[in-house]
Amino acid sequence: MEQIIFYILIFCIGTLFGSFFTLAVHRIPLHQDITHKRSYCPNCNHRLSFFDMIPVLSYIFLGGKCRYCKNKIRPRYLILEVLTGIVFLLFAMSLNINFNSLNISKIVYLVFGILYFTGIIIIAGIDKEKKQVQKGLLVYELVVVCLYMIYLYTVENANIYRYVIYLFIFGIIEFLQSSYLRKNKKDNYIFSILELCMIMVIFEYEFIFIYTAGITLFTIGFVKILKKLLKNDKTKTNLPIASYLCYSNILVIIIVNFLACRGGL
């Protein structure tokens, strides 16, 4: 019974995070505050009340419309809330946490995993819309993985050398990114992708990133072929590579956890 209550709680937390993600994906590119400024309707700019912001339920009870201007609310808000709840639920289930014999390492990994997924999902959402990786989100992700790295080194006696090597590589990429920024007055998308890759490698093991990169390349190839078949291939349209990387990384982490916790790896 405790297990079921725990999973329901995780799903509800996921939908709350999903509601925040929709706000963050909209506001961060506009350089708007995401923590103190109240949520508002993007159509009429009316501030939303508490009952307007209950994940999933508000959308259903309001019939997918704003309470004040009656304009339709984009379904993506509901979809992202539900999908985030499912992702958080699957991640928790993949760790096979047993309340009869709690494993502190799994609980810590669950917390850091949720924090890590938070940045990854927002990066994916913004990249899908704007084809850009926000520097602030990369910094957030780097802080999360470094804190987790410190925990692993101090508590679980993990090998610190692999982390130092990848942080050093990240530093080199950041130096190159800064040099490019000074010359061109804008970040280079490829450098941002490389920094994102380094963060993924630091948080998880190399083989997980290899699977992530493989699925990403397969997805990109499939999308390109599909566009050509549909005669919708615009050569000047950049694919959201960071978005594909993030979604693939989440999928691989959950699958690998399921296999590892059940003796499949």
Task: Please indicate, yes or no, whether residues 56 and 117 belong to a single structural domain of this protein.
Answer: no
Task: Please indicate, yes or no, whether residues 72 and 139 belong to a single structural domain of this protein.
Answer: no
- CA 125 to CA 112: how far, in whole Å? 20
Task: Please indicate, yes or no, whether residues 109 and 138 belong to a single structural domain of this protein.
Answer: yes
Task: Please indicate, yes or no, whether residues 107 and 61 belong to a single structural domain of this protein.
Answer: no
Give yes or no for residue 204 having a pLDDT over 70.
yes
Task: Please indicate, yes or no, whether residues 111 and 195 belong to a single structural domain of this protein.
Answer: yes
pTM (predicted TM-score): 0.88
Does residue 28 contact residue 36 with C-beta atoms inside 8 Å? no
pLDDT 10s digits, 56-102:
778 777 777 777 777 777 777 788 889 999 999 999 999 888 776 67
Task: Please indicate, yes or no, whether residues 138 and 212 belong to a single structural domain of this protein.
Answer: yes
Task: Please indicate, yes or no, whether residues 73 and 113 belong to a single structural domain of this protein.
Answer: no
Task: Please indicate, yes or no, whether residues 55 and 153 belong to a single structural domain of this protein.
Answer: no
Residue type, 228: K
DSSP three-state, residue 147: helix
Quote the domain boundaries for residue 232: 95-265
pLDDT 10s digits, 113-151:
999 999 999 999 999 888 889 999 999 999 999 999 999
How many domains, the chain? Answer: 2
Point out the domain boundary residue: 89, 117, 152: 89
